[in-house]
Amino acid sequence: MPYHEFECSKCIPERKKHAVTKGPGEDLTHALPLGYLNTIPGSISERGCAYCGAKHVIGTPMKDVIHISHGPTGCTYDTWQTKRYISDNDNFQLKRTFATDVKEKHIVFGAEKVLKQNIIEAFKAFPDIKRMTIYQTCATALIGDDIDAIADEVMEEMPDVDIFVCNSPGFAGPSQSGGHHKINIAWINKKVGNVEPKITSDYVINYVGEYNIQGDQEIMLDFFRRMGIQVLSTFTGNGSYDDLRAMHRAHLNVLECARSAEYICNELRTRYGIPRLDIDGFGFEPLSSSLLKVGRFFGIEDRAQKIIDEETARWKPELDWYRERLLGKKVCLWPGGSKLWHWAHVIHEEMGLDVVSVYTKFGHQGDMEKGIARCEEGALAIDDPNELEGLEAMYKLKPDIIFTGKRPGEVAKKIRVPYLNAHAYHNGPYKGYEGWVRFARDIYNAIYSPIHQLSFLDISKDEIPDEGGFKTQRILSDNGLSEEVRKSNYMREYTGSLDIITPLREKTYPEFNKKP
Amino acid sequence: MADINEKIAQLENFIMKKCLWQFHSRAWDRKNQNENILRMTAELLCGETVNTEDPADRCYWVDAVYLADSYRERFDWLASMSKDEIRELFLALRERLDYVLVDGSLNEELTDPRY
Tell me: the pLDDT tens digits for A278-331?
Answer: 999 999 999 999 999 999 999 999 999 999 999 999 999 999 999 999 999 999
CA–CA dist B60, A500 (Å, integer) = 35
Residue A10, domain member (yes or no): no
DSSP A375: S
- Looking at the fold, whether A179 and A270 belong to one and the same domain comes out as no
Distance from the Cα of residue A373 to its chain's centroid: 20
Residue in A28, A286, A341 nearest the CB of B106:
A28
CATH number, domain of A294, equals: 3.40.50.1980
- Looking at the fold, whether A54 and A154 belong to one and the same domain comes out as yes
The verdict on a CB contact (< 8 Å) between A292 and B66 is yes
The verdict on a CB contact (< 8 Å) between B58 and A275 is yes
Residue A155, domain member (yes or no): yes
Residue A478, domain member (yes or no): no
pLDDT of residue A467: 79
Residue A85, domain member (yes or no): yes
- Looking at the fold, whether A64 and A177 belong to one and the same domain comes out as yes
The verdict on a CB contact (< 8 Å) between B59 and A277 is yes
pLDDT of residue B115: 62
Radius of gyration for the alpha carbons in chain B, expressed in angstroms and rounded: 14
- The contacts of residue A487 (CB under 8 Å, 6+ apart) are none
A342 shares contact with chain B (CB less than 8 Å): no
pLDDT of residue A89: 97
B104 shares contact with chain A (CB less than 8 Å): yes
Residue A402, domain member (yes or no): no
- The contacts of residue A502 (CB under 8 Å, 6+ apart) are none
- Looking at the fold, whether A74 and A177 belong to one and the same domain comes out as yes
Instruction: Please answer whether residues A276 and A247 qualify as being in contact, where contact means their C-beta atoms are separated by less than 8 angstroms.
Output: no
CA–CA dist A435, B64 (Å, integer) = 28
pLDDT of residue A83: 84
CA distances from A423 to A74, A334, A442 (A): 21, 10, 14
- Looking at the fold, whether A91 and A142 belong to one and the same domain comes out as yes
Residue in A258, A275, A345 nearest the CB of B17:
A345
Residue in B23, B56, B106 nearest the CB of A370:
B23
Among the candidates A190, A225, A248, a domain finishes at A190
Listed by start position, the domains of chain B span 31-103
Residue A163, domain member (yes or no): yes
Among the candidates A165, A190, A215, a domain finishes at A190
Among the candidates A137, A155, A190, a domain finishes at A190
Instruction: Please answer whether residues B64 and B20 qualify as being in contact, where contact means their C-beta atoms are separated by less than 8 angstroms.
Output: no
Using left for φ > 0, alpha for ψ between -120 and 50, and beta otherwise, residue A386 falls in beta
- The contacts of residue B39 (CB under 8 Å, 6+ apart) are B90, B94
- Owning domain of residue A136: 50-190
Alpha helices (runs of H) in A249-386, residue ranges in sequence order: 258-272, 284-298, 301-326, 339-343, 346-351, 365-374
Instruction: Provide the domain count of chain A.
Output: 2
Peptide bond into A61 cis (omega under 30): no
pLDDT of residue A357: 98
**ipTM score of complex:** 0.97
The verdict on a CB contact (< 8 Å) between B55 and A293 is no
Residue A73, domain member (yes or no): yes
Instruction: Please answer whether residues B67 and B13 qualify as being in contact, where contact means their C-beta atoms are separated by less than 8 angstroms.
Output: no
DSSP A143: T
B55 shares contact with chain A (CB less than 8 Å): yes
Per-residue burial over A185-209, b if 16 or more Cβ lie within 10 Å, else e, is bbbbeebbeebebeeebbbbbbbbb
Residues of chain A with pLDDT under 50: none
- Looking at the fold, whether A184 and A253 belong to one and the same domain comes out as no
pLDDT of residue B7: 97
A367-392 confidence digits (pLDDT tens): 999 999 999 999 999 999 999 999 99
CA distances from A305 to A288, A310, A509, A515, B68 (A): 8, 9, 17, 22, 18
The verdict on a CB contact (< 8 Å) between B20 and A280 is yes
A84-113 confidence digits (pLDDT tens): 999 999 999 999 999 999 999 999 999 999
The verdict on a CB contact (< 8 Å) between B62 and A297 is yes
The verdict on a CB contact (< 8 Å) between A366 and B63 is no
Q: Is the pLDDT of residue B2 over 70?
A: no
Residue A183, domain member (yes or no): yes
Residue in A275, A280, A289 nearest the CB of B55:
A275
For the entire predicted model, the pTM comes to 0.96
